[in-house]
Chain A
Amino acid sequence: MSKLKVATCSLAGCFGCHMSILDLDERLFTLVDLVEFDRSPITDVKQIGYCDVGIIEGGVANAENVHVLREFRAHCKILISMGACAITGGVPAMRNRFTLKECLEESYISGAGLVDAQIPNDPEIPLLLSQVHPIHEVVKIDYFLPGCPPSADAIWTFLTQLLSGQPIALSYTQLHYD
């Protein structure tokens, strides 16, 4: 049997969910026997190919996040929303109580110790959205794995059950939102 292809990415995430994947430790050797990684922060693949599973960390906070998320949806049979940010917007969504103007001016105009204060406006820089959103408000999601981050044990339970076609059943201590 050919290996399943898996892609991962971080949108408005902190890479903590990916660190939690690395917390699988030696179970990573078992994992790479089962799957092959396509585009991911842990590979050098620049453009996502057709994959069986896509794992998304982080909410949607800027235009590039929307673009990458839609590409993942178009290329992955199964798309997984991993971690509090992808599921709820998470801590970055705490900026939703302020306007984007307030956030940018606080950081780039009125912040302490700034020299030549200005809001970055180069077209290379993706524009921020007015609010941070969970990813299921942008594309359809097939599975949710909560936690900030989910523990390696929860990720392992989830992935092994998913890859073997079993229903997903996390134990009590593996299901948490914090």
Chain B
Amino acid sequence: MSGEPSFTLDDQPVPFQDGQTIMEAARVAGVYIPHLCFNPDFAPHGSCRVCLVKVNGRPQAACTTPAVAGQVVQSEIEELQEIRRGILEMMFVEGNHICPACEKSGACQLQAVAYYVGMLAPRFTYFYPQRTLDASHPDAVIDFNRCILCELCVRASRDIDGKNVFAVQNRGLKAHLVINTPSGKLGATTFSITDKAAQVCPTGAILIKNRGYETPIGRRLYDRQPVNVVGDVAQVPESEGGRRHE
């Protein structure tokens, strides 16, 4: 470690460049910090809170906290894994995450991160939301009851596809994903399954039609190895079991 600035992450030195966040520097160094709303192709969002780390003893989101030389960062400690389990349990009870009946099971980042932090069961009361499925688009279907409000589709559609198809409506517990058209239907938009927005969802909320259950159990993305080894679902090519493009 010559003149390059660095911080320590779980006692390992991690070099960084000026302006990088803790998450970006860790990612470049090949160190996994659990995350859901973070995607290296987009500005950080800070909504999922799963990337919570301790920076000089204080809990901070790794995706939004700038790296500073000499700071002491802790991530793989039981105290944080317990908090992450709690956060994931909240996400699971807020939606209808019935993995046995979901086409994304085995290749779902929400599920994979829950496995990674050792979540066995949500401790909280289930919300059982009753949002209506949108199957109006010929090639895609949206189950709003699986959405975790990471806003990756919102960001991708607005910033990369230039279509602005998705938005989040209402506040607090009533906040939910909507389609940005008068009818509120995906079929009324120019959304295409080749869009970036179709490829970034970390859960089973946005699905490509007629493609479910193609990968045998045992060969799905996260069947054999955990998310810290395999990587994000949106970053893994289709040939390796990742998100299908087209």
Q: Which residues of A are in contact with B by a Cβ distance under 8 Å?
A: 81, 84, 87-91, 93-94, 96-97, 131, 133-134, 136-137, 141, 144-146, 148, 172-173, 175-178
Contact = CB atoms under 8 A, between A and B. Distances in A.
B101 A91 contact: yes
B115 A148 contact: no
A144 B114 CA distance: 14
Nearest to A89: B126
B215 interface: no
Interface residues of B, number: 27
Nearest to B224: A173
B190 interface: no
Interface in B87-141: 92, 96-102, 105-106, 111, 114-115, 118, 120-123, 125-126, 128, 130
When A and B form their complex, which 7 residue pairs have the shortest distance between CB atoms, in order from nearest?
A148-B100, A144-B121, A177-B99, A178-B105, A144-B120, A96-B128, A178-B99
Contacts of A134: 121, 126
B128 A81 contact: no
B237 interface: no
Contact of A178 (B106, B122, B123, B125): B106
Given A88-B122, A172-B115, A173-B224, A148 B99 contact: yes
Given A84-B99, A136-B123, A148-B99, 11 more contacts: A88-B92, A88-B97, A88-B122, A93-B98, A93-B128, A96-B128, A96-B130, A97-B96, A134-B121, A172-B225, A176-B115
A110 to B, nearest CB: 21
Residue in A81, A91, A178 with the greatest tally of chain B CB atoms within 10 Å: A178
Contact of B126 (A81, A84, A88, A176): A88
State the main secondary structure of chain A at its contact with B: mixed
B118 to A, nearest CB: 7
Contacts of A136: 121, 123
Nearest to B102: A178
Contacts of A87: 120-122
A173 to B, nearest CB: 7
Contact of B105 (A93, A97, A175, A177): A177
B226 interface: yes
B121 A133 contact: no
Nearest to A85: B100
Contact of A90 (B98, B224, B226): B98
A94 B171 CA distance: 26
B100 A177 contact: yes
